[in-house]
Structure 1
């Protein structure tokens, strides 16, 4: 007998999945969208036209082929991948995180990361049936070195994630502490540099010194969030093993062509990143003058603490400015909102909207 839909879900869908919440995306129609760390700048009209012509010529009837290899070579040149290292592509960094959990699913495997941090590290572990261990940051959102080292010694994690800079706190961590964690890790260490275009430092120059370290980046913050291209670098032998679990044709020909086009015009995107870094400084100074607590940022977001985050979030939303209320994500984030850095006009609207709620 055919089961009812309720019985089908209850008996055939994993219990932990039934209890999960799907990744929430806020409705941003008609809003100044400053909730997802996107680059707010569009391509200039001339380049939009050129890109449209390029995409129109793509052979949509064929599976992705050599053009994907062209993109890998272009990204390797753009990122300056060290000798002896290789690069693999993901449908955004999210897919790479999932593939790492799949590839490292050995008996008793654990994934470890500081918290608060990017939610996909824990989610990938849960979906793959792995144990996740979160280690709290200090109240100032710095790495708790002793707690991290103790957790590594106790749990012997298969993967340690270090976001550099971190999301949602936007800060870089002490390099000496990072190095000691890397040295102590018995498995892989994944340095997640999603916000590299806005950061003052990178782990790239140290990558080739460590056989067990992978460096992950994305073109989302470069300015192509809608294109969904993530990439990961590391020792060739290690990357080749992770690449075995990658689905075939995981990057579409349209996405690859758009990414290749963008890399041919990387000066345009570099200028956009420079503008956002400048606007970040303006925002931080304005927040200081408003008496709003904020933390140093090496990303295109700023974490602030306000007296009533729900009131500020809803008040800004009523004024058509959408930010992210992270106050309930982790106890250390109590009272906090995450503000994406936008254009000069958007940032002026953000500041006025926030001021009106304080």
Structure 2
């Protein structure tokens, strides 16, 4: 038997895939983890025991079936699903973004989104072979309405993404500008409301006005980042087309049951979100007292800040056991910017002390 060399084996992979970088996840071993917008609160011992008992009783020998339909119905009730609309599940929002790209991959199709924004919009487009158009925000991270409308007119995108609020800038955008974009879009407009538990506004009460608008959410920011449940709401006819490319049984019985359990204890998670909103207010006030730091308003569980030297400050925090996200190289508009996840009161106090020392 002959062993083939690496170059010979790698020839089967697309050139663009070989030139790409995988989605990077920072090593957080031994660190205070404030880099990924996770809910820092654990379940109480009583709820842990109750959930463990329920998961242990699941029929792991069977494929998920009726249970996922139950979760779809419960999520529809939780989100106030409009009449005539449907809801589909994804293994996190990432899978839904990939499925949308797959379903809309017709010749010449493209995906358009403001930048800086969630990297998976562009990555999913490129992996599926679609064109990707990134439209820069303004210097203060607002939507550039004229630029967005010009790009839509020129490229006629199959999908326009509007993150509401945006990642990593954490802000909501002007409703009038958004409405003009929705009216101009020739294809789908997808509102990504991943951070809805922390936001002051939602698009859910307006999606029924438009037959081409979808709304996407995740249970990750609800408090279940480890469970990987995303869901998308839209007109039944549109959701039916996207659902055709969804892998069968894409949600495990364990993940599904955990999500149902969380919805039954919605009040617990709502209280956690309230605590994080209060801590966000505290953090914003503390950051405002630091002359060397510029911060932006946030409607998410993260705050974007600009410091004199992002790399030095990031390493300073890391050396003090605090892991945040250095986003300064993601886009030119993010020069010297860091993204801070809102944690518990104790975690935020530790982070701010480390930030002061690092500056």
Please give the range of the TM-score, normalised by the shorter of the 2 chains. Answer: over 0.9
2: CA distance, partners of 1:28 / 1:325: 14
The equivalences for 1:306-345 within 5 A come to 306-345=307-346
SS in 1 for 2:206: helix
1: CA distance, partners of 2:225 / 2:93: 11
Residues 7-16 or 239-248, more deviating: 7-16
Query: Which ranges in structure 1 are unaligned for 5 or more consecutive residues?
Result: none
Residue 109 of structure 2 corresponds to 109
Structure 1 residue 10: deviation in Å? 3.5
Residue 220 of structure 1 corresponds to 220
Structure 1 residue 3: deviation in Å? 6.4
CA RMSD of superposed structures (Å): 0.9
SS in 1 for 2:262: helix
Structure 1 residue 29: deviation in Å? 1.2
1: CA distance, partners of 2:350 / 2:8: 49
1: CA distance, partners of 2:40 / 2:62: 33
Residue 354 of structure 1 corresponds to 355
- Can you list the C-alpha shifts for 1:254-291, whole angstroms capped at 9, x where unaligned? 00000000000000000000000000000000000112
1: CA distance, partners of 2:239 / 2:101: 14
2: CA distance, partners of 1:324 / 1:80: 34
- Can you list the C-alpha shifts for 1:184-208, whole angstroms capped at 9, x where unaligned? 0000000000000000000000011
Structure 1 residue 44: deviation in Å? 1.0
Structure 1 residues 338 and 248, CA gap change in structure 2 (3 angstroms) = same
Structure 1 residue 54: deviation in Å? 0.4
Structure 1 residue 5: deviation in Å? 3.9
2: CA distance, partners of 1:286 / 1:28: 25
- Normalized against structure 2, the TM-score is what? 0.99
Within the alignment, does 1:253 sit opposite 2:253 as a pair? yes
Residue 303 of structure 2 corresponds to 302
- Normalized against structure 1, the TM-score is what? 0.99
Residue 63 of structure 1 corresponds to 63
1: CA distance, partners of 2:9 / 2:282: 51
2: CA distance, partners of 1:121 / 1:2: 42
1: CA distance, partners of 2:161 / 2:270: 27
Structure 1 residue 30: deviation in Å? 1.1
1: CA distance, partners of 2:245 / 2:13: 23
**What is the aligned length?**
358
Query: Which ranges in structure 2 are unaligned for 5 or more consecutive residues?
Result: none
Within the alignment, does 1:131 sit opposite 2:137 as a pair? no
